[in-house]
């Protein structure tokens, strides 16, 4: 038995790479593709998927995911920038439909490991900042990955962070980055980059750097395929690939 998969946003860089990876997988069947100019609901009715993979833009993601769930398919979305309130609403809809809805800030398995290592370090270091670097066409800043990382670090620490600071003066607003709770996030957007993140912990006499570099979009494919295969095991909102990472078949 193969899993029938539809890809929405199939002409984009991530959508096209995901489509190729699905076609190459023996246990998956690419039953349909669509984009922003297509009637999405009708496209799903034609392709009859069990799982829909969605890579579009933040402004369209909520509508797309509602369409997927109301159709009756599990949703795997790599679109970042969806607000927490919208994510909660989508999770409630998925749960009421008996479906899984994965809103993954990142599909790269190395990123999930970076976040796990950062959570461990947060127990021992009181000071931390995040630098995230992406290509010039990325729409959201800070990235969904960096925001998720900051929240995981804060939760793991369980105490205030970055408290040893004087009253800072910023002649240029934003010089110290955006703030996610106690943690500063610095966003870079440049040609030649794909997706990179460094978590910097500091303490007296030492610094710990936990960094991940994605140099090819193919790095996301194992995570996407894992999500497609596992999402039917879940109901409601799944907010990270981390929940699927301990699959014994991985």
Residues involved in catalysis = 134, 138
Distance CA 169, CA 171 (A): 6
The span from the CA of 15 to the CA of 220, in Å, is: 11
Comparing CA positions, the residue from 179, 178, 183 lying closest to residue 201 is 183
- Quote the CA–CA distance of 194 and 215 in Å, as a whole number: 6
- For residue 129, give the nearest of 169, 80, 82, 187 by alpha carbon: 187
Provide the 3-class DSSP secondary structure of residue 213. strand
CA atoms within 13 A on the CB side of 250: 18
Task: Tell me the sheet residues that pair with 75.
Answer: 52, 101
User: For residue 164, what are the CA distances in angstroms to 168, 172, 235?
Assistant: 11, 22, 42
Contact criterion met (CB below 8 Å) for 136 and 190? yes
For the chain, the residue count is: 250
- DSSP alpha helices (H): ranges in 4-57? 13-24, 40-47
């Amino acid at each position: 038995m193969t899993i029938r998969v539809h890809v929405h946003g199939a002409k984009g860089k991530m959508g096209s790479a995901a489509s190729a990876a699905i076609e190459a997988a023996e246990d998956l069947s690419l039953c349909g593709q669509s984009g922003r100019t297509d009637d999405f609901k009708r496209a799903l009715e034609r392709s009859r998927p069990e799982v829909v993979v969605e890579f579009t833009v933040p402004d369209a993601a909520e509508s797309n995911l509602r369409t997927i769930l109301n159709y009756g398919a599990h949703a795997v979305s790599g679109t970042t920038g969806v607000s927490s309130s919208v994510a909660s609403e989508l999770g409630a809809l998925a749960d009421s439909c008996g479906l899984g809805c994965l809103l993954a800030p990142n599909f790269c398995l190395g990123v999930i490991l970076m976040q796990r290592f950062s959570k461990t370090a947060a127990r021992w270091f009181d000071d931390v900042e995040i630098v995230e670097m992406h290509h010039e066409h990325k729409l959201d800043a800070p990235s969904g990955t960096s925001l998720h990382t900051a929240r995981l670090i804060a939760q793991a620490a369980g105490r205030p962070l970055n408290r040893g600071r004087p009253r800072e003066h910023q002649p240029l607003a934003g010089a110290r980055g955006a703030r996610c709770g106690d943690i500063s996030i610095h966003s870079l957007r440049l040609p030649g980059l794909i997706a990179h993140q460094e978590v910097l912990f500091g303490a007296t006499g030492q610094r710990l750097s936990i960094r991940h570099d994605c140099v090819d979009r193919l790095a996301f494919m194992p995570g996407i395929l894992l999500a497609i295969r596992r999402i039917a095991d879940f109901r409601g909102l799944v907010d990270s690939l981390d929940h699927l990472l301990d699959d014994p078949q991985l």
